[in-house]
Amino acid sequence: MAANGEVTVQSYIQHHLTNASVCSTENGIGFVKECANAGFWTWHIDTLVWSILLGFVFILSFRSVAKKATTGVPGKFQCFVEMIVEFVGQSVRDTFHGKNPLIAPLALTIFVWVLLMNIMDIIPIDWLPMLAGQVGAAFGHDPHDVYMKVVPTTDLNLTLALALGVFMLMIYYSIKIKGIGGFLKELYAHPFNTPWLYWFNFILETIALLAKPLSLALRLFGNLYAAELIFILIAGLIGLWQLPAHFIWAAFHILVIPLQAFIFMMLTIVYLSLAHEDH
């Protein structure tokens, strides 16, 4: 907001890029603006609410299809779900070379959940934040002080959390399949199996290991954040150019949304497949 209350393009962009936050302060619990110098913790409640809600949408919708599945002529939604399940299953069969019943359900969950979170970027940028502002006004708050980001994957905290979960599974299965000794040997004895280069191998392999979840998180975040920023910039345009510009970018972005979910899923499968290889 400008000093006189007029909405500027800069304030408009800043408003849409700000998460609804709850944090710890010296006076107790603070909200959004008080979280700039927060204490021990800050929760992005819009990211949490939308990601959990979309997770339930995935679970309940797929569960409903599973309960109503028929061997006869399936309905359109059942066909759609079966296509997704078969697609993910084939991707796992082609990429994962170990034996683990967890991988296919995990890949399906990652693909559909990330896809649903990415799809939120298609919703016109002002609709849900404006609705949240009106709800806040009903409770006596200034609508301009009510923040909401509706695309969870534009929050680096969420993409890092997803990547951290994958990283923990990588470490767990590496130690389970290879043993703690085999896991450590991969770090210090590769690529140069020479004792005087063990220290160099360890530094090199540790960096490569940590880079996997970091790149996984940053790739998803960067693509969706940039896409959302472009939608916000388009929404700030004046006149009749806004609608065709929005349509053109949305049509292109429809390709990006499933692609990023697919890449996150495939890299997860590849990383876990490497963790299951026992050399």
pLDDT reading at 29 higher than 60: yes
Distance (Å, rounded) from C-alpha 267 to C-alpha 25?
39
Q: Is 219 a catalytic residue?
A: yes
In the predicted structure, residue 28 carries a pLDDT above the cut 70: no
Nearest to 253 by CA among 122, 154, 155, 125: 122
What percent of the chain has a predicted confidence (pLDDT) above 70?
A: 90
Average pLDDT score over the chain: 88
Do 39 and 26 meet the contact criterion of CB atoms below 8 Å apart? yes
For 35-93, the pLDDT digits (tens) are 666 556 788 999 999 999 999 999 999 999 999 887 777 888 999 999 999 999 999 99
Report d(CA 65, CA 241) in Å as an integer. Answer: 42
Lowest mean pLDDT among 31-45, 94-108, 215-229, 244-258: 31-45
* pLDDT of 166 strictly over 90: yes
Q: Is the pLDDT score of 211 beyond 70?
A: yes
Angle at alpha carbon of residue 13, lines to 12 and 19, rounded to 5°: 100
The per-residue pLDDT for 238 is 61
pLDDT band for position 3 (50/70/90)?
A: very low
CA atoms of 139 and 133, how far apart (whole Å) = 10
Q: What are the residue ranges spanned by the domains of the chain?
A: 9-276
Catalytic residue among 100, 157, 219, 273: 219
Report whether pLDDT(4) > 70. Answer: no
Express each pLDDT in 113-147 by its tens digit. 999 999 999 888 888 988 888 888 888 877 878 89
Decide if 19 contacts 10 (C-beta within 8 A): no
Query: Does the annotation count 93 as an active-site position?
Result: no
In the structure, what pLDDT confidence band is assigned to residue 235 with cuts at 50, 70 and 90? confident
Q: Annotated catalytic residue: which of 11, 64, 193, 215?
A: 215
Q: In what order do the strands lie in the sheet with 21-25?
A: 28-31, 21-25, 42-44
